[in-house]
């Protein structure tokens, strides 16, 4: 179905973009959409836990300062907070409020599902906003989104305007010669405890925390690129932490190449639909 074209006026209020998720991909998308003159609200979802917190606005929910791509995150606990924070330049709103609370306040021009819930049923959000964008597996254009963005390592950032995105296959992209082995996954639904934070240097076999009282050990040497917050209850079979084995080249803050590629594609797809009312065909990512 053809979307209605939208005309932008320089002095008009910024269109609202609602981003689901507070992880590093959602945060990169929010920062790029903010640069593209959208008013942003990121809505937190507890699943899956956010581990790459140095690259995300997630910790704003816990009173910590975070900046991604030169954009600052501000915590909102009410609609009044949203209104106040949106008056500030280069600031995106991060909230634990449900998306229905935001929609009741103002109809979004765009909604982006960046929660990366690879194995859960994907809701149809097409009626929730003017344009619904799905990121990652389980999105089908015309069924649960208007346009989708690939996250699969073989095609990261590709715009999908027809058909479906690739399913998750359990493979991780290479980082310093390490793939899936650089992650530790939860083996039970339990409370996670750790004294460590993002960027800490760790060594293979070192205890990094405990899950349900059981010790969790580092699978290899490196720096903590991601780790779930202390005291969080986590479900089974989700990522607890990630180690960057690249030595002095390790990075755990800012936007990485993957996040930049996905976010740039979101902005490109949204702009094309808003300006022409038409969806682009599948476009190879520019990495």
Phi, psi of 122, deg, nearest 5 = -100, 120
Look at residue 13 in the predicted model and tell me its pLDDT: 84
Please tell me the CATH code under which domain 180-245 is placed: 2.40.50.100
- Please tell me the distance from the alpha carbon of residue 15 to that of residue 67, in angstroms, as a whole number: 22
Q: The whole model's pTM is what?
A: 0.91
Per DSSP, the chain holds a count of helices (H) and strands (E) of 4, 17
Residues 6+ apart with CB under 8 A from 9: none
- Please tell me the distance from the alpha carbon of residue 156 to that of residue 215, in angstroms, as a whole number: 35
Three-state DSSP at 75 gives: strand
Domain residue extents for the chain: 16-168+257-276, 180-245
Element of type H or E holding 226: strand 222-227
How many other C-beta atoms are found inside a 10 Å radius of the C-beta of residue 265?
A: 27
The one-character DSSP state at 48 is S
* Mean pLDDT for back-to-back runs of 10 residues, the chain (287 residues): 45 88 98 97 95 98 96 97 94 96 94 89 89 95 96 93 89 89 97 97 98 97 98 96 96 94 97 77 41
Q: What is the largest CA-CA distance in the chain?
A: 58
Phi, psi of 202, deg, nearest 5 = -130, 165
Look at residue 12 in the predicted model and tell me its pLDDT: 66
Structure tokens at 85: 């924070």
Look at residue 169 in the predicted model and tell me its pLDDT: 79
In this structure, which CATH number among 2.40.70, 3.40.50, 3.30.499, 3.50.50 belongs to the domain 16-168+257-276?
A: 3.40.50
Q: Are 227 and 195 in contact (CB under 8 A)?
A: no
Look at residue 228 in the predicted model and tell me its pLDDT: 98
Look at residue 4 in the predicted model and tell me its pLDDT: 41
Phi, psi of 133, deg, nearest 5 = -115, 130
Look at residue 279 in the predicted model and tell me its pLDDT: 54
Residues forming a β-bridge with 184: 241
């Amino acid at each position: 179905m053809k979307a209605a074209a939208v005309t932008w006026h320089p002095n008009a209020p910024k269109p609202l973009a609602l981003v689901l998720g507070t992880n590093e991909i959602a945060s990169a998308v929010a920062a790029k959409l903010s640069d593209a003159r959208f008013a942003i609200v990121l809505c937190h979802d507890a699943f899956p836990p956010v581990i790459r917190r140095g690259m995300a606005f997630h910790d704003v929910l816990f009173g910590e300062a975070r900046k991604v791509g030169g954009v600052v995150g501000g915590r909102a606990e009410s609609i009044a907070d949203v209104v106040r924070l949106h008056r500030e330049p280069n600031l995106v709103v991060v909230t634990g409020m449900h998306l229905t609370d935001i929609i009741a306040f103002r109809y979004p021009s765009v909604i982006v599902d960046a929660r990366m819930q690879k194995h859960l049923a994907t809701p149809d959000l097409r009626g929730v906003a003017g344009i619904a964008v799905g990121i990652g597996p389980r999105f089908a254009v015309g069924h649960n989104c208007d346009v989708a963005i690939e996250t699969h390592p073989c095609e990261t950032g590709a715009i999908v305007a027809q058909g479906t995105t690739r399913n998750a296959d359990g493979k991780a992209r290479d980082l310093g010669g390490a793939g899936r082995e650089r992650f530790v996954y939860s083996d039970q639904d339990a409370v996670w405890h750790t004294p460590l934070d993002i960027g800490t240097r760790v060594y293979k076999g070192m205890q990094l925390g405990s899950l349900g009282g059981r010790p969790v050990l580092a699978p290899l040497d490196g720096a903590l690129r991601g780790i779930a917050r202390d005291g969080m209850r986590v479900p089974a079979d989700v990522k607890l932490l990630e180690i960057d084995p690249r030595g002095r080249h390790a990075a755990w803050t800012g936007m990485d190449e993957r996040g930049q590629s996905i976010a740039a594609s979101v902005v490109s797809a949204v702009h094309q639909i808003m300006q022409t009312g038409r969806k682009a065909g599948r476009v190879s990512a520019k990495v």
